[in-house]
Amino acid sequence: MCSVGEVVHIWRRGLLGNQLCGCGLPFRECPFWTRVGNEAFGGWDMLDVDHLVRLQRQVDRNRYIPLMMLRRLSPGYRRALQAYTDVLARLYRAVQATSGAAVIVDSTKHASSGFLLRTVPGIDLRVLHLTRDSRGVAYSWTKEIRKPEITEQTEYMPRYHPGRMAFRWVAYNALFHLLRWTGTPVLFLRYEDFVARPRAQAERVMAFVGKRLSGNELAFIGEDRVVLGPTHTVAGNPMRFKQGDLTLRVDDQWRVKMDPVHRRTVGILTWPLMRLYGYPVREPG
């Protein structure tokens, strides 16, 4: 297994921004990513990164999902998609060659990236559809959280109004259901269930990707804690920098700290999928 974080951000945040890798080094100084760049392209400097950023924006956005599924409708889009997936194929092959891993874990959360990876040669795509109570998601995006991967200056993660996040929660989850309808293997998992039974759920995920592990291989996962080592994650949640013994507990601060009006608004806007996923629609007591 090799966890590489949110690969969707590798060009802008990794190569252009030179932000910190999960190992703690700037991206361009990380030995792992240096080897990947050499393996894939003969070195990162051989790439026109600005062109790749533009190319990515031309093909990898949710609005282009219909064109990904019906590429014959737009020859121009089809050519851009082919050019970009050729680059991605080389990148993922290099990650596998460098890491020696049978499974690459890309934690990109954009639905469009899932549809795009279906078209990349050599990738046997399996999607873990991980969701959380919409009210918890909406509340989390109202917090002020510093970006630890940026060291030259202080920057914070974007913050969004709970109503906007409610619409995004519905749209993103719906798109992953659409991805399942394309025949892509998708495993659904609730965040709350994972935290409650982390080892059992990890075994379920591993079976989904065709890897059954022995008890010793999952020894780092306890009933309420996990021991984390360093990773080479190119982008992602700030918690990717945490290492060592980490206590697992459900983050349900939204139940008491979220504005009641926002909480009810998010619940109303998302209730159909909330009911489908088994979340209580009524206000928590």
Nearest 5°: phi and psi at 213? Answer: -105, 155
Residue 283 inside a domain? The answer is no
What mean pLDDT comes out for the span 130-155? 88
Mean pLDDT, the chain, integer = 92
- Look up the domain containing 272 and give its range: 2-276
Percent share of the chain, pLDDT over 90: 79
Over the stretch 66-81, which tens digit does the pLDDT of each residue have?
999 888 889 999 999 9
What mean pLDDT comes out for the span 43-63? 95
Residue 284 inside a domain? The answer is no
Residue 20 inside a domain? The answer is yes
* 3-state secondary structure labels for all residues of the chain: CEEEECHHHHHHHHHHCCCECCCCCEHHHCHHHHHHHHHHHCCHHHCCHHHHHHHHHHHCCHHHHHHHHCHHHCHHHHHHHHHHHHHHHHHHHHHHHHHCCCCEEECCCCHHHHHHHCCCCCCCCCEEEEECCHHHHHHHCCCCCECCCCCCCCCECCCCCHHHHHHHHHHHHHHHHHHHHCCCCEEEEEHHHHHHCHHHHHHHHHHHCCCCCCCHHHCCECCCEEEECCCCCCCCCHHHHCCEEEECCCCCCHHHHCCHHHHHHHHHHHHHHHHHCCCCCCCCC
C-alpha to C-alpha distance for 41 and 90, rounded to whole angstroms: 8
Residue 25 inside a domain? The answer is yes
Beta strand pairing call for 127-131 and 104-106: unpaired
Instruction: Count up the domains in the chain and report the number.
Output: 1
C-alpha to C-alpha distance for 117 and 115, rounded to whole angstroms: 6
Over the stretch 205-234, which tens digit does the pLDDT of each residue have?
999 998 877 768 888 998 899 999 989 999
Please give the pLDDT value at position 284.
53
Report the residue count for the chain. Answer: 285
Please give the pLDDT value at position 144.
81
Please give the pLDDT value at position 72.
82
- Tokens 């995920």 correspond to 205
Q: How confident is the model at residue 186 (pLDDT cuts 50, 70, 90)?
A: very high
What are the structure tokens assigned to 69, written together?
């599924």
What mean pLDDT comes out for the span 83-98? 97
Cβ atoms of residues 7 and 125 within 8 Å: no
Please give the pLDDT value at position 96.
96
Over the stretch 152-169, which tens digit does the pLDDT of each residue have?
778 877 888 999 999 999
Percent share of the chain, pLDDT over 70: 99
Q: Report the CATH number that the domain containing residue 123 is assigned in CATH.
A: 3.40.50
pLDDT of 247 > 90? The answer is yes
Residue 176 inside a domain? The answer is yes
Residue 166 inside a domain? The answer is yes
Beta strand pairing call for 244-247 and 225-228: antiparallel
